[in-house]
Chain A
């Protein structure tokens, strides 16, 4: 009788045992898949939510009068718009900065009272990451109005407003923010440069730091070193509370993932090994018999390892399906912002299919070899 025949016959005969072992494998694999999926989702969600806190770096002209800066909210000095491209083009800059956005900010009287005007240029993101640039994106001729400005102008979405003799379409009106955003108008960089009469100039590069170091790790020193080298005419301000909160939260999420995934991996692997081991132990008498009949170790090992491979493959498939189902049905409720990025991950199926049978076979190998090495008379007594 061929080995495959024997394996199938044994599986059919002891189907209840095979079913229980497979269920055990399914549980282990499902747990692993679900935990892997959800910790990855949690990390993603944390990054997104933290990113949505907004830019936490402000790169402003070195010559800025800081009293003016803090009392007015923007720099009284300008630098060439090209500085942002210089910064983005320098090697390794995206290790420390991301979402580099050139901006020109100033004051403007609107309907006889002061308002803030911010022109935003195109955001440059790390070309290797393919991230969506954050912040507002505006076409020339469009503006976004803060709540108080919209009220002041009695403007509604889609309407046209005039700023310094130019016409703009209201693209969006922001909700009440409780910050100076309420008296701010966002426009495309070139438009704002024209309105403020500063073509080709900016007075700030907004960015997010991606060092993700907490305040005690002194990220500012590293960020400043980078900027001073490439854009010596500028200096870096960090919104430390924001940056620190972001760094802490992200670090926590990463550490948790680094703890949870290996933990579940070890527990799952241990559980798997236990099942494989018990299964072989149960068949010690049978091993003794094959041995007594004079069958070689390779054939006997093949008989038991073959079963482990078959059950491992079935367990991996079903476990992947179950784990995925759990992650996909529970995930979107937990990870609201990034719900859409929870998708079946075939790479996990690949790993489950590659590792589960191999590991089950490996775990079966040790007790099988131990049983084969014993005198048949001893093993035969095992029942």
Chain B
């Protein structure tokens, strides 16, 4: 589903360039639940953004479903992201002037049938424990509630791939487990999940763990769980 070839990314900095990614090659198949681990600043977020078509690598290629992501035009890449990829940001990035429910709806591609998605939104609100807060603005939410809203926004469009950057960073173990169960259910239904995580909470669900150190992948762990059959249809909740 995703193939990374020698992906590099440098950032200009006061003390020369920062090499956030120093040649990452990895292939992620459909139906996998991949965890990316590594110390802070090792390039996890940078890698995830590059996989999601949101940050162009300085060198190397990222292909998604057989298409070279960064060879596409910006509108094409947008469209692809809108329809196929759900992203949960480390810093949530919710729209401050929309309610929780509206923020979730904002995850739908423009022009999609909101009526048909409404039932899905209610299910997500219930499953993620956000029903009471559905009419609240992000400014009044706890960090955990924001994180769950961001997750719901990524899930609502039923994407082929979910990229989640520390989606449980602000949650207590019980809630974190709930979020991972949710992602796992999604993967079980045929989705592909890549999460950045620090702890081991995700271990029971992941099919593979990638260890990133200073912008490089060090030996990837052997799969623990079996990837889901790649021929399954696009997941639905």
Residues of the B chain whose Cβ atoms lie less than 8 Å from the Cβ of A206: none
Give the interface size class of chain A: 20 to 34
| Contact (Cβ within 8 A) B106 A293 | yes
| Contact (Cβ within 8 A) A292 B81 | yes
Q: Which residue of B lies closest to A376 (CB)?
A: B54
- A13-B137, A296-B75, A296-B78 known; A377 vs B93 contact (CB < 8 Å): no
Residues of the A chain whose Cβ atoms lie less than 8 Å from the Cβ of B78: 291, 294-296
Residues of the A chain whose Cβ atoms lie less than 8 Å from the Cβ of B97: 9-10, 12-14
Q: Does B96 belong to the interface (CB within 8 Å)?
A: yes
Residues of the B chain whose Cβ atoms lie less than 8 Å from the Cβ of A296: 75, 78-79, 110
| Contact (Cβ within 8 A) B96 A295 | no
Stretch at the interface among B34-42, B82-90, B115-123, B140-148: B82-90
| Contact (Cβ within 8 A) A285 B109 | no
Q: Does A380 belong to the interface (CB within 8 Å)?
A: yes
Q: Does B107 belong to the interface (CB within 8 Å)?
A: yes
Q: Does A180 belong to the interface (CB within 8 Å)?
A: no
Q: Does A76 belong to the interface (CB within 8 Å)?
A: no
Q: Which residue of B lies closest to A285 (CB)?
A: B93
Q: Told that A286-B95, A296-B79 touch, could you supply 4 new A-B pairs with CB distance under 8 A?
A: A286-B96, A289-B95, A294-B82, A295-B82
Residues of the A chain whose Cβ atoms lie less than 8 Å from the Cβ of B54: 292, 375-377, 380
- A293-B82, A293-B106 known; A375 vs B56 contact (CB < 8 Å): yes
| Contact (Cβ within 8 A) B75 A297 | yes
Contact with B along A1-33 (1 / 0, CB 8 A): 100001001101110000000000000000000
Q: Does A68 belong to the interface (CB within 8 Å)?
A: no
Q: Does B184 belong to the interface (CB within 8 Å)?
A: no
Main secondary structure, interface of A, reads helix
| Contact (Cβ within 8 A) A295 B93 | no
Contact with B along A356-383 (1 / 0, CB 8 A): 0000000000000000010111101000
| Contact (Cβ within 8 A) A292 B105 | no
Residues of the A chain whose Cβ atoms lie less than 8 Å from the Cβ of B26: none
Task: Report which of A294, A295, A375 forms a contact with B55, defined as CB distance below 8 A.
Answer: A375
| Contact (Cβ within 8 A) A294 B98 | no
- Chosen A-B contacts, 18 in total, with CB atoms closer than 8 Å, are A1-B98, A1-B102, A13-B96, A13-B137, A292-B54, A293-B81, A293-B106, A293-B107, A293-B153, A294-B80, A294-B82, A294-B85, A294-B110, A296-B78, A373-B74, A376-B54, A377-B54, A380-B91
Residues of the A chain whose Cβ atoms lie less than 8 Å from the Cβ of B110: 294-296, 299
State in angstroms the CA–CA spacing of A289 and B52 once bound together: 13
Residues of the A chain whose Cβ atoms lie less than 8 Å from the Cβ of B79: 294, 296
Q: Does B128 belong to the interface (CB within 8 Å)?
A: no
State in angstroms the CA–CA spacing of A375 and B74 once bound together: 9
Q: Which residue of A lies closest to B83 (CB)?
A: A294
Chain B residue total in the interface (Cβ 8 A)? 30
Residues of the A chain whose Cβ atoms lie less than 8 Å from the Cβ of B105: 1
Task: Report which of A12, A375, A380 forms a contact with B93, defined as CB distance below 8 A.
Answer: A380
- A12-B97, A289-B93 known; A377 vs B109 contact (CB < 8 Å): no
Q: Does B28 belong to the interface (CB within 8 Å)?
A: no
Q: Which residue of A lies closest to B108 (CB)?
A: A293
Residues of the B chain whose Cβ atoms lie less than 8 Å from the Cβ of A378: 55
Q: Does B49 belong to the interface (CB within 8 Å)?
A: yes
Residues of the B chain whose Cβ atoms lie less than 8 Å from the Cβ of A293: 81-82, 106-107, 153
State in angstroms the CA–CA spacing of A270 and B203 once bound together: 57
Of listed A289, A377, A380, residue having the most chain B CB within 10 A:
A377
Shortest distance between the CB of B31 and any CB in chain A (Å): 23
Shortest distance between the CB of A375 and any CB in chain B (Å): 5
State in angstroms the CA–CA spacing of A296 and B153 once bound together: 18
Shortest distance between the CB of A25 and any CB in chain B (Å): 21
State in angstroms the CA–CA spacing of A243 and B83 once bound together: 78
Shortest distance between the CB of A257 and any CB in chain B (Å): 45
| Contact (Cβ within 8 A) B93 A292 | yes
Q: Which residue of B lies closest to A372 (CB)?
A: B74
7 closest residue pairs by CB, A with B? A294-B82, A13-B97, A377-B55, A294-B81, A376-B54, A377-B49, A377-B54
Shortest distance between the CB of B151 and any CB in chain A (Å): 14
Residues of the A chain whose Cβ atoms lie less than 8 Å from the Cβ of B95: 286, 289
State in angstroms the CA–CA spacing of A13 and B80 once bound together: 31
Shortest distance between the CB of A371 and any CB in chain B (Å): 13
Q: Which residues B136-182 have CB closer than 8 A to chain A? A: 137, 153
Shortest distance between the CB of B5 and any CB in chain A (Å): 20
| Contact (Cβ within 8 A) A9 B81 | no
State in angstroms the CA–CA spacing of A381 and B49 once bound together: 12
Residues of the B chain whose Cβ atoms lie less than 8 Å from the Cβ of A292: 52, 54, 81, 87, 89, 93
State in angstroms the CA–CA spacing of A375 and B95 once bound together: 18
Residues of the B chain whose Cβ atoms lie less than 8 Å from the Cβ of A380: 54, 89, 91, 93
Residues of the B chain whose Cβ atoms lie less than 8 Å from the Cβ of A376: 54-55
Residues of the B chain whose Cβ atoms lie less than 8 Å from the Cβ of A294: 78-83, 85, 109-110
Q: Which residues B176-201 have CB closer than 8 A to chain A? A: none
Residues of the B chain whose Cβ atoms lie less than 8 Å from the Cβ of A10: 97
Q: Which residue of A lies closest to B107 (CB)?
A: A293
Q: Which residue of B lies closest to A13 (CB)?
A: B97
Q: Which residue of B lies closest to A9 (CB)?
A: B97
Residues of the B chain whose Cβ atoms lie less than 8 Å from the Cβ of A297: 75
Contact with B along A290-316 (1 / 0, CB 8 A): 011111110100000000000000000
State in angstroms the CA–CA spacing of A6 and B109 once bound together: 15
Residues of the A chain whose Cβ atoms lie less than 8 Å from the Cβ of B49: 377
Q: Which residue of A lies closest to B82 (CB)?
A: A294
Shortest distance between the CB of A102 and any CB in chain B (Å): 75
Q: Which residue of B lies closest to A12 (CB)?
A: B97
